[in-house]
Chain A
Amino acid sequence: METLTIKEKVAKKEIPTTPVSVSGSVAVLEAFIAEGVETIFGYPGGAIMPIYDALYDYSEKLQHILVRHEQGAIHAAQGYARTSGNVGVVFATSGPSATNLVTGLADAMIDSTPVVCITGQVFAHLLGTDAFQETDVINITTPITKWNYQVTDATEIPSVLAKAFYIAKSGRPGPVLIDITKNAQLQQFAYDGYKKCDHIRSYRPKPIVRKKYVEEAARLINAAEKPFVIFGQGVILGNAEKEFLKFIEKSGIPAAWTILGMSAIPTDHPLGVGMLGMHGNYGPNVLTNECDVLIAVGMRFDDRVTGRLDKYAKQAKVIHLDIDPSEIDKNVKSTVPVWGDCKETLPLLTELVEQKLYPQWLQRFKDFQQQEDEKVIHEELNPTTDILTMGEVIKELNELTKGDAIIVTDVGQHQMVACRYAKFNTTKSNITSGGLGTMGYALPAAIGAAYGDPTRTTIAIIGDGGFQMTLQELGTIMQFKPNVKIIILNNQFLGMVRQWQQLFHEKRYSFVDITSPDFVQVAKGFHIPGKSVSKREDVKNSLKEMLDNDGSFLLEIMVGKENNVFPMVPQGRGVAEIILCKEDL
C-alpha cells in the first residue's frame, strides 16, 4: 500500500503541465471550483446555454438553484454572501435576463456585497447589431459594479474570472459582472490550469496603515471625556468582530451600530447602546451631538444615519476608520482619518488606548433609553389595545429564537421594527437591504441566506407590499426546499409611505392602500404550509408552529393598519431633533 501511494504521488508530480483542450464554458466552471464555489443561483437561456450544458456534467460538484426570476438569483447570491462570508455567484443569460440583475447589482454595490455574476451574451460577431436578446450589459451595469468585463475570447476566461473573484471579495467588497459571448463559451482552447489572482497593479484593495494616524487617534480617544463609537458593516466585512469587541471593551466606549453593522456585536452587549439613524434609538442619535470624540468604524455616514449634515456632530472631533479612502471626508469631515482594514487598524488602536470606563457617560445613554422605553418601546412591545403591533411579534420571536436565528428583512416599517427589536447573538445575522432599500429583497435573500449558513434557522420578515414584489421565489423554495421561515407582517398598507403621508402630507393617502391575495392559499399553491393569525393569543403558538415545522412555513400576521415607527429623525432635521411621537413633530 505504502509503495503504491508513493508511486501515485510520484506519478502525480510527473503529470506534465501541458495544456488540455477545454471549452470556455468548462473553464468558467473550473474557475468556480478553484474559488471554492459550491452554490450557483441562476436561470438558463439562449446565450448562456453552452455554460449550462457544461454544468450538466458538474452537478455533483456545483449545486445550481433555479430561481424564478433573475432578480431573485442575485438577491439570493447576496443573502448567501452575507451569511457565509463567501462570494455569491449568479448565472443569467443575455438581454432581459441580464437587465433583471440590475436592481440586485445596485443593491450589492451600495451595500458592499461580494457577488460575481456571469451573463451570457450573443456571439461576438453579432455585438452591436441589435441581435435577439442582445443588450449592452457592460454599459448598463458600469455604474453599479465594482468591475465589469466582456469576454469575447475563451483564452481570457481563467484570468478574467480570477480577477473577478479577487476584486469582488478584496478591499471593500462589491459586485462584479462578467459578460461572456456565446462563441467564447463554445470555443475550445488550450487550458493550462487556473491561477488565483492576488495582485492587480492598478488596484489597491487595502490602504497602507499609517501608524501616525493611529497614534493621533489614540491620543484623541485617551483625552476624551465623552467618546462615542459608531460602527457599520465594515466590521463584519472585515471579519473584525473580535478586534472590535476588544477595542470597545478595553476603551470602555459606548458603541452604536448602523443597520448593516447590526449583529457584529451581540445586541445585549453592555456597551452596545443601540441603532443609529432615522428610526434608530433615541440616545445614540441625540448623544451624537454631545460626544466629544466620535469614532466611526467601517461606516459611511449615510444620510439616513446623519440626518442634516450641517447639524451633525459639529462639536465632536471625528476619527474615521475605513478601508475605502473615498469614504473619508465624503460626507463628514474627519479630524483623524485612519485608513486601512479595520482588522489591522483596530488592534493597533486597542494597544494604544487606555483601559477606561465612562459610567456617567454610559448612564446618559441609559437615561435616554429609559425615556424611549416609556414613550415608545413599552407600548410597542406590550400594547394596551387589541391591535397587534409588529414589535410584539418580534418580541415573541426573540423569546423563541433566543437571538440565534438569521433574520432577513425587506424594506419598510417591518424592517425598521425588526431591526429595532430583534436580538442577535452572532455576527452575520441581520440581512437587509440597507443602502438601496430594495423592496422584494427579503424572500430571495433569505433563500440565499439559508444556503449560506444551513446550520441556523433563517427567518424572512416581510411586509405585505414587498412580499408581492418577489413572491414567485416561493417556487424556488418549493423545488429546492431551503428551510426558510416566512413571516408577513401585514398592515394592509404600504406602511412606511403611509406613515410619511400621514406625518408630512396631511394624511393624503395616495396609492398606499394595497390589496393582498390570500397569502396562505398562495403558499399552499406552492406546497408550502401556512397560517394567518390576527389575534394576540395566537401569535406565540403560531410562531412556534412555524419554527417547529420541518421545512419552510409561511405565517401571515395581521398587524395594526396605521401604526407608526418611532422614534424618527424627520427628513431635513438634525439627529438631535429626533422625535418620539407624532405630537413632537
Chain B
Amino acid sequence: MTKQEYTITVYTENQIGLLNRIAIIFSRRKINIESLNTSPSEVESVHRFTIVINETEDVVRKLCRQIEKQVEVLKAYYNTQEEIVWQELALYKVPTDIIAEEVKVERLLREYGAKAIVIRKDYTVFEVTGHREETDNLIKVLEPYGLIEFVRSARVAIIKDSDGFHEKLKEFENREPGEDASENEFLNENEKVFSM
C-alpha cells in the first residue's frame, strides 16, 4: 500500500484536553500531522477536527479507530483528496515599494486570486485561499522580492458525500443506538465515502 494524503474529519464533544488526547494518537506512532484545524461544526455543541496526514490507508483506518475509541469522540472519517472540497488560507507580507516597482500588483491579484488586505507604505499583506500548490506557487513568485512573512492556515474540508451530522447525532443521543452510530465497525467496507 502506498502513502497518500488523507484528510481525517473528527466530530467531538468540546472538551479541554481532547486535542492532546487526539494528537498523541499520532505522535505515539511517530506520525507527522501535516495540518490540524479545530472548529465548530454544523451542529451546535459538536466540535470538528480536520487533520491531514500522509499515510497508507491501512494506517489511517487504524488511526481512525483509535480516535473513535476516545470517550469524547463521536465519529472519525477519513477521505482522500478527491472525496473532499478543501481550502487553505495563506498570508504574504511583502515590501510595498518592491511590489509596486518589480511585480505588478495587478498581475498577482489576477493570476493567484490574491487579495490585498493591508497596504501600507512599508509593506503589503496579500491573502490567497486555495489548494496547497496554489499558495506554494505564490511563495516562489514573491521570494525574490523579499517576502517578509508567510503563514498558511490548516486545511478545512467538506466531505462531498456527507449529509452532515444533525441526523447522526440523534442516533448517538439514543440509549439504544441505531446502526449509524457505530460505523467504525465498517471501516473495511468501502461502499460510500462516509462508510469508511
Q: Hey, what's the 0/1 contact readout for A429-455 against B, CB within 8 Å counting as 1?
A: 000000000000000000000000000
Q: Which residue on B lies nearest to A208, using beta carbons? A: B182
Measured CB to CB, the closest approach of chain A to B158, in angstroms, equals: 22
The answer to whether A199 and B185 have CB atoms under 8 Å apart is no
Let me know if B131 is at the binding interface, CB within 8 A. no
Let me know if B105 is at the binding interface, CB within 8 A. no
**Choice from B16, B20, B61, B74 contacting A202 with Cβ under 8 Å:** B74
Let me know if B82 is at the binding interface, CB within 8 A. no
**Choice from A150, A203, A325, A330 contacting B71 with Cβ under 8 Å:** A203
Chain A residues contacting B172 (CB-CB under 8 Å) are 201-202
Q: Which residue on B lies nearest to A147, using beta carbons? A: B71
The answer to whether B177 and A142 have CB atoms under 8 Å apart is no
Chain B residues contacting A324 (CB-CB under 8 Å) are 69
Q: Which residue on A lies nearest to B175, using beta carbons? A: A199
The answer to whether B69 and A326 have CB atoms under 8 Å apart is yes
Q: How many residues of B contact A (CB 8 A)?
A: 30
Which B56-92 residues sit within 8 Å CB-CB of chain A?
61-62, 65-66, 68-69, 71-74
The answer to whether A142 and B20 have CB atoms under 8 Å apart is yes
Let me know if A207 is at the binding interface, CB within 8 A. yes
Measured CB to CB, the closest approach of chain B to A448, in angstroms, equals: 25
Q: Which residue on A lies nearest to B62, using beta carbons? A: A330
The answer to whether A138 and B17 have CB atoms under 8 Å apart is yes
A148 to B71, CA, bound (A): 10
* Known contacts A143-B24, A147-B71; A325 and B175 CB within 8 A of each other: no
The answer to whether A208 and B71 have CB atoms under 8 Å apart is no
Let me know if A286 is at the binding interface, CB within 8 A. no
Let me know if A167 is at the binding interface, CB within 8 A. yes
Measured CB to CB, the closest approach of chain B to A328, in angstroms, equals: 8
The answer to whether A339 and B62 have CB atoms under 8 Å apart is no
* Known contacts A199-B175, A326-B65, A326-B68; A207 and B17 CB within 8 A of each other: no
Let me know if B179 is at the binding interface, CB within 8 A. yes
A1 to B152, CA, bound (A): 80
* Known contacts A146-B71, A167-B71; A325 and B185 CB within 8 A of each other: yes
Measured CB to CB, the closest approach of chain A to B75, in angstroms, equals: 9
Measured CB to CB, the closest approach of chain B to A573, in angstroms, equals: 24
Q: Which residue on A lies nearest to B58, using beta carbons? A: A329
Chain A residues contacting B161 (CB-CB under 8 Å) are none
Chain B residues contacting A200 (CB-CB under 8 Å) are 71
Chain B residues contacting A207 (CB-CB under 8 Å) are 182, 185
Let me know if A570 is at the binding interface, CB within 8 A. no
A210 to B183, CA, bound (A): 12
Chain A residues contacting B73 (CB-CB under 8 Å) are 202
A71 to B9, CA, bound (A): 38
The answer to whether B179 and A208 have CB atoms under 8 Å apart is yes
Q: Which residue on B lies nearest to A205, using beta carbons? A: B71
Q: Which residue on B lies nearest to A139, using beta carbons? A: B20
The answer to whether B74 and A201 have CB atoms under 8 Å apart is yes
**Choice from B16, B65, B173 contacting A201 with Cβ under 8 Å:** B173
Which B171-196 residues sit within 8 Å CB-CB of chain A?
172-173, 175, 177, 179, 181-182, 184-185, 187-188
Let me know if A284 is at the binding interface, CB within 8 A. no
Measured CB to CB, the closest approach of chain B to A345, in angstroms, equals: 13
Let me know if B135 is at the binding interface, CB within 8 A. no
The answer to whether B65 and A325 have CB atoms under 8 Å apart is yes
A236 to B10, CA, bound (A): 33
Measured CB to CB, the closest approach of chain B to A326, in angstroms, equals: 4
Chain B residues contacting A329 (CB-CB under 8 Å) are 61-62, 188
* Known contacts A142-B24, A326-B66; A204 and B17 CB within 8 A of each other: no
Measured CB to CB, the closest approach of chain A to B60, in angstroms, equals: 13
Let me know if A57 is at the binding interface, CB within 8 A. no
The answer to whether A325 and B20 have CB atoms under 8 Å apart is no
Measured CB to CB, the closest approach of chain A to B179, in angstroms, equals: 6
Q: Which residues of B contact A (CB under 8 A)?
A: 12-13, 16-17, 20-21, 24, 28, 61-62, 65-66, 68-69, 71-74, 169, 172-173, 175, 177, 179, 181-182, 184-185, 187-188
Q: A142-B17, A203-B72, A326-B65 are in contact. List 6 more A-B contacts (CB 8 A).
A: A142-B20, A150-B16, A201-B173, A202-B73, A207-B182, A328-B65
Q: What would be 22 A-B contacts, judged by CB atoms less than 8 Å apart?
A: A139-B17, A142-B20, A142-B21, A142-B24, A143-B24, A199-B175, A201-B74, A202-B72, A203-B71, A204-B177, A207-B182, A210-B185, A324-B69, A325-B182, A325-B184, A325-B187, A326-B62, A326-B68, A329-B62, A329-B188, A330-B65, A337-B185
Q: Which residues of A contact B (CB under 8 A)?
A: 138-139, 142-143, 146-150, 167, 198-204, 207-208, 210, 324-326, 328-330, 337, 339
